[in-house]
Structure 1
């Protein structure tokens, strides 16, 4: 082997060996041993060249994405629909009939159907591309970077370029870019809710664990996708990409089964039903003609066969797939403007069918902005107005502004000391207020800014030391020196009961007095009262320190002066209460699922109107004791679940679905992904959601706002209504065509058709006329109806049940009755203009079959146009909001002009077997066609009276 080859082999070995040699649990392994195994310097990190080599060998630090679907497969997927199969068969049969007839002209019907099928595929592809682009844009917005030591220098690199062995440097506000073993930590707290579901930040330290521990208890490890809420630290990267804890969950996610949407199920049912109906109709009509009219010659058989094909085409609403895609696409665009990005067209309707919305509390129902709302001091209670991180509001005593000097001094002391005993920062950029650090600590800064003079007083102190918060101590303290003064002060905040144990004095106005044994129970009772209102409580204390107090230790946290306690809460979003009321009005249950304390969850749920005051929450520990039947019973009546893990969320979703609910589920954490995928429609958070969650979800909320979900429910219901509108219209109109031909053939002698023609097979309408009706009435008007504005109050009725058919019995009755009326008025019009029929003859003996057939043909077209007005609502009169849809009136006008043209223009007369009509004929056609409207109005009135 030559020297260069040997050198290359050695280099490759250096890349892979550190990875191979790490085969240990880093949490129970000393940090120095981890550094040795990964061949990295715990002080200087990797060299840039070594990091580049490892990146080449290991690949980027990103989750394995789903392999892109080839374009040809995406095209074929657009045709994977029962209705499309039916249309393709209809196209083939139409082409066959055209060839049997001798291939005259162009096969118009086959071409029209083929164009519609292709248009449907194009619409689906375009919308999927738009959704992909929207999701990609969200991903780009959340692209993270990390700070590492490379060649002994700090460098900022994209998190995707982290490799095992990198020395990762963490600070407040950072997103952890990879799984890593801590080597140093100072007051380091990590928010791991996205991974473990734990709502409180976890305090980290680099000590080696004595034994393997659960994920949430690995205190010397940090994990990809979590965030630093406080402190600083350094750590050695031990896992990247799919070799992280997030990657493990992403792998498990593939095993979770996604359910078809209700719309997919319903359209599949309709497609199968129409397949049977179409074959049956064509067969029955052809047999009826053969038996009733004595078909004997080959030419007659060809005519009958063509008629059967035409009726089959007429019975199939070939515009349905394309119109569905257009309507869903428009709905998607409307929802995107309302901050809801839908990834799949058919998911739009699912929200409209949702009977339950399961949502997290923090950030969705609440602002995710911790806010101080109350202060309790020795002199009384102070209320703080304003919510969120914008420092707007004031401190009030009861209903009046805070003016009492003693209470004002105490409030200023509580907020000033609480702000200084923390590490958060509050900044304004372009009119937006943002925090860095722990949200609870930031709440003190915001409240302090609302009390004039407090912020300026705080600026006089410089920090000299800190005793960090730990879960064992439940408090923290800082050492400060006042500018221009040698005296030192200790500022402390923490759990009120812990803090009171360390206090010997209490602040009363500007005076410090001893804290007596009688005062302690009263103070603890006040604190308990705040906790009972679901406030998170923090006590504040201070004292003057000795000159040699440095560094701080626990012995210095004695003899403190108790200043007061604050009540902090994550306030509900202002718009959520009305959104919850709207959801309840629509018959949609809202269920809160959170990792917070049950009392806090119940309080927020009560404030928002999710539950009645006094209702309690079911905790995750309670769920662990319930079997599946018990859980199904529990979810029927419980609307607040607290202290739950993501595993509990999946069980809750499954139990609701087992009870027959259509479930919308929100989530932002990695562990929420299985529940989101299992739900009928998973909704990921666009701001706080992880990439795994967004991948699993069918919809993404750009603003993380519950009100957006309710708005999407309304949009989904409007879309569902519009789908039902054009289904009602298309099927009833097509049924009118089928019944016209069927009854016309059956009653040809009584209507005078047989006597008016010498042909063996006499039809009330020609094949070309049937195809023309299908062309001008099934496309434009139906499409315009699909974008109809909201006619009925869609939120005033309960959601569609999981077993409810989109076309139920009442709708089928309406479809059949309307189709029958159309057939009757069409045949009655033909009868009126033919001698020897059932009805009195107009101008007897002057009209032949061509005129009568033209009049019947025109009447059926106009009847279907009147039917567009009927179909806009199942119960509401057609005259309600009659002119709100200009597209519909434009489509009706266009259809009228085309029908006039096909009747009056000589070229089209030849093609469609029509002849010109005088004003009387036109008036009769319009009048007879309008009967469809009046009969339907009567039927709707009867239904409204019964309701």
Structure 2
């Protein structure tokens, strides 16, 4: 049942869980290491530093590290990106019910699909009628019973011919079975179009019956139903008892293979006589001919019900049957299914057809759609029952066609494929398909033929039951994962750079923190947020369906992305430290009267902040230092250096968002302005940055707090806004060099 079907974690859930653990461990190790080393140095030192002061200072650094490494905006960005993916898939008539399924589709390695209505048009029409050794073609199409009829070797059989055939008991029973053993309703709407409500196979049989016996509704009134044995997946047949020609007759319609051993009689010259093996051999031979032509074969049988039978015992009723014949039903493949399966092959996705049809029919459709070839081994439901789990696991990957499969066996197939490491998408429409849909990584219910139970159990519903739209959804899922991968690379590069900046500046250089915890939060949420969301709508991905599925054990980020992250992070850290250093940020932790970066030996130095003379000539002509003026200068310089570091770090990220649109293609190949969302997000973030910095002296409404005090920023000289972008652009040009130069040399096809 559904309750026993374990719901597997999605690939994205697994990757994000491992990413969270990785970042948490890194933050914990770095923070503990820094605090421990600092405490040990203070303990073993000369006692000039209080252990309490050191502990307090290192605690603040540890908080900054934890704030820096956690991608606070990632959950919001994921939700937005997956929601946009759901919208795009809905445009392809694929309604995603569970958001996590959007990305999982892109990880799919195997699609297990039904045949009828998914790979085929679900426009079933009877094309062959076999009866007691005689065979006729059936003309007409669709649900209009007024067109077409029986066609013999001499052409269409006219009214006189049908009258002659109706003298045969087996012909009358077979055509009445077609017209009575169903629960479909054939109708003509106000526009004159014929339609059907009910099971497609039932409807095709009902239309065929109408062509011979007339209006099946009127025929059912003349021959009232007494009892019904509903179709089920085990028996694979439907039986009804009707009062017909003065007696109660059992009329049976279903899969002939499931009736082996039930046929004991035939009709010869309007008399019921024992059946012979030669009759069964002819029936089997003709059955196989139809199946080889991709027809679904529906066997017709009957039995006169003697008085006093217990109608509740279906096994006792459905025995000693008269074999009448069969109809061959044609359901042509969808035109778009051919291309969709070819796309799956290019994308490294296996397509497995799981159907209730017999093996010959299933194989014929499989060959036509290039799912299998003539030499391909087909596994039937009966063979599945005889296999243990180990044997099934050894064969499940190589077999692409499963015939006469029950819903329980679908679940075994899914579980076996998952045990081999596959991400499985499974289609289904019936109530009994619900456990398999729940167990699959992606359960796909049919919107037209699907039951409410199947839809509730599924992750996605196909509005038009079209296999091609599954493939389109997989393509969309791959694009979405590319976007997720891009903005994870973008956000983690920010986090790695921020942590490295804190560690190097405080632990290696013994500087004051260049960025506060508040500034890091602003960077992670306000500044990185809009560009990361813009990466989530990137559309330039190349031919994603020409690449194999990504490995299920691939990390997020993977090794290649980690290399890029550290490469870009290193550039951003070096650039930010350089800006902090040349802005005299380190002076605050240096010895008094340490020379500023801009100071030229032997000259007087005037503070640009307040005009005070910091270094001057004494009475002997030597350079002297005003310690108080120096202290004021150092504090002012630190405030400006921290602001400059904050600003240049953000501008680095705004250039980096252009880099992260692709890990391989140049921005100029993608089109520098092709992603409007990124362009707008860069303008928005740059506008916020100017407000936070140049508006540092603005007072917040309804409070006495100034913006600069809240964010630890100060107003920068306007010329800084020429220098900072120039420095930050280095990360863009270095990454462009990597993409164009190295990939051009290392890749034989020049582009990844």
TM-superposed CA distance for 1:707, in Å, is 2.7
Query: Structure 2 vs 1, CA of residues 346 and 473 (structure 1 numbering), >3 Å: closer, same or farther?
Result: closer
Distance in 2 separating the partners of 1:462 and 1:665: 38
Match 2:717 to one of 917, 934, 937: 917
1:714 has 2:468 as partner: no
For the Cα contact (< 8 Å) 1:591–1:639, is it kept in 2? yes
CA distance in 2, matches of 1:711, 1:257: 27
For 2:512, which of 762, 776, 784 is the aligned residue?
Answer: 762
Q: CA deviation at 1:271?
A: 1.4
1:422 to 179, 183, 201: 179
For residues 772 and 800 of structure 1, what CA distance do their matches in structure 2 show?
A: 34
For the residue of structure 2 that corresponds to 1:637, the secondary structure is coil
**Does the alignment pair 1:640 with 2:401?**
yes
Note the 1:733-748 alignment, pairs <5 A.
Answer: 733-745=494-506, 748=509
After TM superposition, give the deviation of residue 927 of structure 1 in Å.
1.9
Q: Is 2:458 the partner of 1:697? A: yes
- The offset of 1:595, in angstroms, is 1.9
Q: 2:71 aligns with which of 300, 311, 317?
A: 317
1:366 aligns with 2:120: yes
Secondary structure, counterpart of 1:624 in structure 2: helix
Query: How many angstroms apart in 1 are the aligned matches of 2:448 and 2:500?
Result: 56
Distance 2:662 2:269 in 1: 74
The superposition leaves residues 162-209 of structure 1 with CA deviations (integer Å, 9 ceiling, x where unpaired) of xxxxxxxxxxxxxxxxxxxxxxxxxxxxxxxxxxxxxxxxxxxxxxxx
Bigger relative contact order (CA 8 A; separation at least 6): 2
Assess, with a 3 A threshold, how the Cα gap between structure 1 residues 433 and 874 changes in structure 2: closer, same or farther: farther
Structure-2 change in CA distance of 1:800 and 1:819 (3 Å): same
Tell me the secondary structure at the aligned position of residue 636 of structure 1: coil
Correspondences of 1:128-167 after superposition (within 5 Å)? none
Taking a change above 3 Å as real, the CA distance of residues 383 and 871 of structure 1, as seen in their structure-2 partners, is: farther
What is the match of residue 819 of structure 1? 569
The answer to whether structure 1 residue 532 and structure 2 residue 321 are counterparts is no
Of the three residues 722, 733, 739, the one matched with 1:934 is 733
Any conservation in 1 of the 2:175–2:213 contact (CA below 8 Å)? no
Q: CA deviation at 1:318?
A: 0.7
- Given the alignment, which residue of 545, 551, 556 partners 1:795? 545
Report the CA distance between 1:742 and its aligned residue: 2.7
Distance 1:714 1:412 in 2: 57
Distance 1:864 1:412 in 2: 86
**How far does the alpha carbon of each residue in 1:339-374 deviate from its partner, in whole angstroms, 9 at most, with x for none?**
434343223322221211112223332344421346
2:155 alignment partner in structure 1? 407
SS at match of 2:662: coil
**Could you tell me which residue of structure 2 aligns to residue 296 of structure 1?**
49
Does the 8 Å CA contact 1:372/1:444 hold for their aligned counterparts?
yes
- Residue 534 of structure 2: aligned partner: 784
* Structure 2 contact 643–712 (Cα < 8 Å) conserved: no
> What is the TM-score of this pair, normalised by structure 2?
0.70
Equivalent residue, structure 2, for 1:828: 578
Distance 1:379 1:697, change over 3 A: closer
Q: Is the 8 A contact 1:371 1:571 kept in 2?
A: no
Specify every segment of 5 or more residues in structure 2 that has no aligned partner in the other structure, as ranges: 167-171, 230-234, 246-250, 257-262, 271-279, 301-321, 585-594, 609-636, 699-706
- 1:663 equivalent among 401, 424, 431: 424
Structure 1: distance between partners of 2:468 and 2:607: 67
Aligned partner of 2:678 in structure 1 is: 888
TM-score by length of 1: 0.57
1:356 counterpart = 2:356:
no
Cα separation, partners in 2 of 1:479 and 1:406, compared to 1, 3 Å: farther
Which residue in 2 is equivalent to 1:119? Answer: none
- 2:559 corresponds in structure 1 to 809
2:296–2:357 contact (8 Å) kept in structure 1: no
Q: Pairwise mapping of residues 406-555 of structure 1 onto structure 2 (< 5 A)? A: 406-409=154-157, 422-423=179-180, 426-429=186-189, 433-435=194-196, 439=200, 442-443=203-204, 529-536=289-296
The 3-state SS of whatever aligns with 1:427 is strand
Structure 1 unaligned regions, length at least 5:
1-248, 397-401, 481-491, 506-519, 541-557, 749-759
Instruction: State whether structure 2 residue 365 is matched by structure 1 residue 600.
Output: no
Judge conservation of contact 1:463–1:478 (CA < 8 Å) in 2: no
CA contact (8 A) 2:72 2:524 kept: no
**Aligned Cα root-mean-square deviation (Å):** 5.1
Which residue in 1 is equivalent to 2:650?
861
- Aligned partners of 1:412 and 1:721: how far apart in 2? 68
Q: 1:413 to 1:569 in 2, by over 3 A?
A: farther
Determine if the alignment matches structure 1 residue 615 to structure 2 residue 376: yes
Q: Determine the C-alpha separation between the residues in 2 that align with 1:268 and 1:521.
A: 60
- The answer on 1:331 being equivalent to 2:85 is yes
